[in-house]
Structure 1
Amino acid sequence: MEKQTKKITKKPSNKITKEKVISLYMDYVLENEQTPKSVYKFAKANKMTEDQFYNFFGSFEGLRQEIWHQFYQKSVELMQKAPETESFTSREKMLTFFFTFFEMLTANRSYVLFTLQENRDQLKNLAQLKGLRKDIKNFTKELLQEDNEEKQLKILQKNETVFSEGAWIQTMFLIKFWMDDNSAEFEKTDVAIEKSVNTIFDVFDNTPFERVIDFGKFLFKERMA
């Protein structure tokens, strides 16, 4: 008599990872149009334990900051995958980064708009960008270090601290511009990115006037339209 072997079917893996928790959180926010009231309720709704959540994040605030870091990180990774970027100037790299970063935000626009408009107190909404500010400033400093190494005269070198702070202010302006942009495929945001990046580089290259005037006119038209 032949032995019958029982077929074993593998159950789908429900392993909890950092990426999984982020995805579940973003889905929760969009589906419920509010943030979870507690880690316990969020974990229970997603069939995980509180311990599994705390393996990756100490709080929802830490999770929200990580989401923005992921937007940044994935943008940089996508940019670096294109071999031609290695030969780009720092100005071209900055432009490429911002175009890629805002494509990333557009792909997650519903979440971004909700999370940046959730509270009437804007300072509470902006707290989640604390890590992104550090990312942007470090990215900018790295670009400038490459530039400054090529310039033998110290007077021609850009101030990394001032320039990186300017890049962060520029990022904040562009996020607000993008949030208010109603143009098809966010074409006006693309224009704003190009003009603002060229302006900030020209300011530090001591040739700002035409770009600054051009950018100023653009902003005036947008705000008066």
Structure 2
Amino acid sequence: MKNFFYGKKRVEESDNIELDLNNMPNHIAIIMDGNGRWAKERNLPRSMGHKAGVEAIREIVKECNKLGIGYLTLYAFSTENWKRPKEEVGALMKLLVEYLRKEFEELNKNNVVINHIGDITKLPQICEELLIESYEKTKNNTGLVMNLALNYGGRDEIIRAFKNMYNDIRCDKLTEEDINDKTISDYLYTSGMPDPDIIIRPSGEQRLSNFLLWQSAYSEFWYSNIKWPDFKKEHLHRAIYDFQNRDRRFGGIK
């Protein structure tokens, strides 16, 4: 029987989890990690691990929408991932195109907004065009907002925000006195969205890896040794259950 860590306690997959539907996180962010190692364990090419990871995305997006989660941000391709072999990067871009084409109708039918964060202008043109088209066709949906973080890096995002603020100050659109937490948030890719309540990272690694650095100031973290292709809705439930049983004080005292 498989097991994993939730909080500081090891629990088994057979444990029944009862979620409080009145205390759901509004924004869940996931670092989708472990595709390559999943493939290596099975003597498969890394591309097969990424393909299996897409199947996990399908299940988790569907479940988040069913549970009434407002936002789901998926770390799909970082600014550092360009360092990977060209063949692997090419396979990832091909998978992105296949995912958007194959899943669009289902996602749109289920009222999902297909959004993106990151500098998508550096992606292949077909990827950029499909991402923009998918957003334009779903932006008025009222269900889950799915953010695909592509060519995204937290430091790059903050640098971009500071440059845009500086330009607006030079153009007298912004003053020094206007700058506060909300102002900076408004210049980020996630402008208008709530910060993630919980960040989930499967595969055993326990670091942010340049993901949502500003937004994660008070996020809860949930780690698991399960690699992303094996991540199921049951694991999502356990992460949410753990979140619901934490005491979030935001620096204050209850």
The two structures have a TM-score, normalised by structure 2, of 0.26
Larger relative helix fraction: 1
Larger relative strand fraction: 2
Structure number with greater Rg is: 1
- Which fold has the larger relative contact order, with Cα–Cα distance below 8 Å and residues 6 or more apart in sequence? 2
The two structures have a TM-score, normalised by structure 1, of 0.28
